[in-house]
Structure 1
Amino acid sequence: MASRGYDMTPTMYSPDGRIYQVEYAIETVKRGTLAIGISTKQGVIMAVEEKARTLQTKNITQKIFQVDYHIGVAAAGYIPDARVQVDNARAFSQGNRMTYDESVEIATVSKYLADTAHQFTQYGGVRPNGVSMIIAGIDQKGEAIYVIDPSGTYVQFTAVAIGAGADEVNSFLEKNYNPDMSLEDAAALAIACINLKDEVKDEIKNVKMAKVSSESKVFEKVSEADLENYSKNVSKFSNE
């Protein structure tokens, strides 16, 4: 094995300057199902691919979370790690509201969670979080989407995909994304992204979605009926 023992702890660099434990965590994210974040002037969309088991309750999502009334998270990778980080973000957001009497900015929450994730790369006896998260919402500065990865890096995007097949989906987003598109078209684009490798592009069976519109500035889960309506616009987007 190329790591030759340098992967035993996240505190050890390999001779070529790599931290294998962090790279393994990032690989875990690449094996997770897709998560999409799309920002427009009308709001932000978060969507995930979730394949429910036969007897599983289908109207509950395991991979989209609400942090504050104006912020949501879509996760890819090892979801229990996301759940713990989201609980952390909720406490931080409420603390900010109690201290400053105003809603927290998306960038502030993203940096806080990235700093927390980074701490798990610096100490023996712990492992890096095996999840990446798209943090999306609307604050005083407008619409914002950030991605946090297991290394503690956080980067702002206008549209992004994480998880299995993300490179191909991000190329698809580059071809089809328009910052002036409507929120409905952004939702349709997210559905197209999740079905990119399937023959039927407008299938919603495995899609869970949430949005924060610029009008309400409140996190909302998207109903199956609304997903059905959004899917009618999927034909607008092409991978050619």
Structure 2
Amino acid sequence: MLPAQQGYDRAITVFSPDGRLYQVEYAIETVRRGTIAVGIKCKDGIVIAVEEKPRKLQISTNAQKIFQIDDHVGVAAAGYIPDARSQVDNARFFSQSNKMIYDEPVEVETIAKHLADQSQQYTQYAGVRPFGVALILGGVVNNNPQLYLTDPSGTYISYDAIAIGSGSDQVTDFLEKTYKKDLSLEDASALAAAGIYLSSEDKEGTSHIRMAHIKTDTGLYEIVSEEQIANYANTAKEKYPHDKN
């Protein structure tokens, strides 16, 4: 005889007697098992950073977990990255369509809601599965930094700072203790690097860190160079010595 849970375990459209959608919970667990991603809003813009673990023979010049959506919007992902690419493609198409129709940059919240609506639809229809990825969306519109999180359940929430992926609870606690709204872009970048070091097994070097900025003065997305990341990492180790443990 099959366990009572198994029917609810297999059907994404059926609530269990205790009000749970197991397939959605499994998708969220996929996010928790992914490598860490961090997003921070500061007075000078947005910082998004991720940990990537390339294999020894892998050519790792291209970031796999940070994506550009539009000139002014970037995304960091944790979870099942092929699902992230699908949602990123959707977001890019949506953003460009919005620009053609309204002739103005799309709000970050508008993109976040669009992706969250899609994720929610994938929790209630047979023949599909939930997206196994969470996204941190950051951007600048009219000199206003905006940071949002979407998850597999279809939820989207605005944050000042957020971490997702493996070790995110610990990193979130760290951010809650150290984050200040008046952080500069440099300080926020060092804070993001410190968060990644806190979660990562690799406490030395920066080859496993990828980072992007969206600055309020330009409103443009840009990848941070390895040299700049190394500088932020050095600042992080000096300012947050727990990373050396």
RMSD of equivalent CA atoms: 1.7
Quote the offset at 1:225 in angstroms. Answer: 0.8
Separation in 2, partners of 1:49, 1:11:
33
The superposition leaves residues 156-214 of structure 1 with CA deviations (integer Å, 9 ceiling, x where unpaired) of: 00000000010000000011111111101111111111111568756312100111011
| 1:164 and 2:166 correspond | yes
Does residue 138 in structure 1 map to residue 140 in structure 2?
Answer: yes
Cα drift, residue 216 of structure 1:
1.2
2:151 aligns to what?
149
Measured after TM superposition, the shift of residue 56 of structure 1 is: 1.0
1:123 matched residue in structure 2: 125
Q: Are the structure 2 counterparts of residues 179 and 237 from structure 1 closer, same or farther at C-alpha, using a change threshold of 3 Å?
A: farther
1:32 Cα deviation from its structure 2 partner: 0.4
Give % identity: 54
Q: Please identify which structure carries the higher helix content.
A: 2
Shift of 1:116: 0.5
Using structure 2 for the length normalisation, give the TM-score. 0.94
Which structure 1 segments of 5+ residues have no match? none
Q: 2:220 aligns with which of 193, 218, 221?
A: 218
Which structure 1 residue ranges, 4+ long, deviate > 2 Å from structure 2? 1-4, 197-203, 237-240
Note if 1:5 corresponds to 2:15.
no
What is the CA distance between 1:19 and its match in structure 2?
Answer: 0.4
Q: 1:16 to 1:141 in 2, by over 3 A?
A: farther
Q: 1:60 aligns with which of 51, 59, 62?
A: 62
* Paired positions, count: 240
* Distance change (3 Å), C-alpha of 1:24 and 1:42: same
Q: Counterpart in 2 of 1:237?
A: 240
* AA aligned opposite 1:26: I
Query: CA distance change for structure 1 residues 200 and 55 in 2, over 3 Å: closer, same or farther?
Result: closer
* Gap change, CA 1:2 and 1:65, over 3 Å in 2: farther
State whether residues 33 and 76 of structure 1, in contact with CA within 8 Å, keep that contact through their aligned partners in structure 2: yes
